[in-house]
Chains A and B, each alone.
With several copies, the nearest count.
Chain A
């Protein structure tokens, strides 16, 4: 295995795009390892189901850290992304406010008359990935794993 990709960015929404881009590219390194082709550094193609799942989950976790963990004081978000043969691991650390993940309620049944307008993020992340763990800190540590 090669070394992980490490990224550290200020924990604000202005740096969301750059973090998502790095994660999308790392996912692609795993999903397209068979058809590994050079790509355009200006675009990322997130159409493969593996890439889709990883990026969907990561966007929610990043949003939550920037919005909730860093709602009062701000700090950095540190990522260690390890593309493996058949899996991708994303470790995330922030020094914001910890929370209790067990208090997050499951998403109620979705019907035409009961559509949620919030509370979908953690649900999306856990449903899209094989493993999601959170260890309150400081630093708070997320570990996301997706198998291909």
Chain B
């Protein structure tokens, strides 16, 4: 199985999340977030273009990343959010916070 995310570092630090980010897959992403934050990156792009499904556990994992980046003085940009994940962010009124 594919991991539910992929990290690319050039030209920009990008976290691409794919498939389903849910109670089963969010723990793996949370570990990746710890690795990402160890470098205190100034900016990160979270690409949700290949993310098909998210549940509240997946939202929580992205909220953690958002908080960690901001606490470290960095910036975070969400791109390509679509379909069910977009509906969830809108429902939770996180779409504006995340600049979606």
Given A47-B83, A60-B55 in contact, is the A110-B91 Cβ separation under 8 Å? no
Chain B positions within 8 Å of A60 at CB level: 55-56
A13 touching B97 by the CB < 8 A rule? no
List residues of B whose CB falls within 8 A of some A CB: 1, 19-20, 22-25, 52-53, 55-57, 59-60, 63-64, 66-67, 70, 83-84, 87-88, 91-94, 97
CB distance from B80 to the nearest CB of A (A): 14
Determine whether A79 belongs to the interface, using a CB cutoff of 8 Å to chain B: no
Q: Are B55 and A46 in contact (CB under 8 A)?
A: no
- Report yes or no: B92 in contact with A124, Cβ–Cβ below 8 A: yes
Residue of B nearest to A120 (CB): B56
Question: Which stretch from A3-11, A33-41, A80-88 is at the chain B interface?
Answer: A33-41
* Contact yes or no, A56 B66, CB < 8 A: no
- CB neighbours (8 Å) of A112 from chain B are 70, 97
Complex-state Cα separation, A21 to B87, whole angstroms: 19
Let me know if A136 is at the binding interface, CB within 8 A: no
Interface size on A, residues (CB 8 A): 38
User: Is there contact, CB below 8 Å, between A13 and B24?
Assistant: yes
A2 to B67, CA, bound (A): 40
When chains A and B are docked, how far (Å) is the Cα of A37 from the Cα of B20? Answer: 13
**Chain A residue with the shortest CB-CB distance to B84:** A52
Contacts of A109 in B (CB 8 A): 93
Query: Which residues of B have CB within 8 Å of A124?
Result: 55-56, 88, 91-92
Min C-beta distance of A36 to chain B, whole Å: 10
Contacts of B93 in A (CB 8 A): 109-110
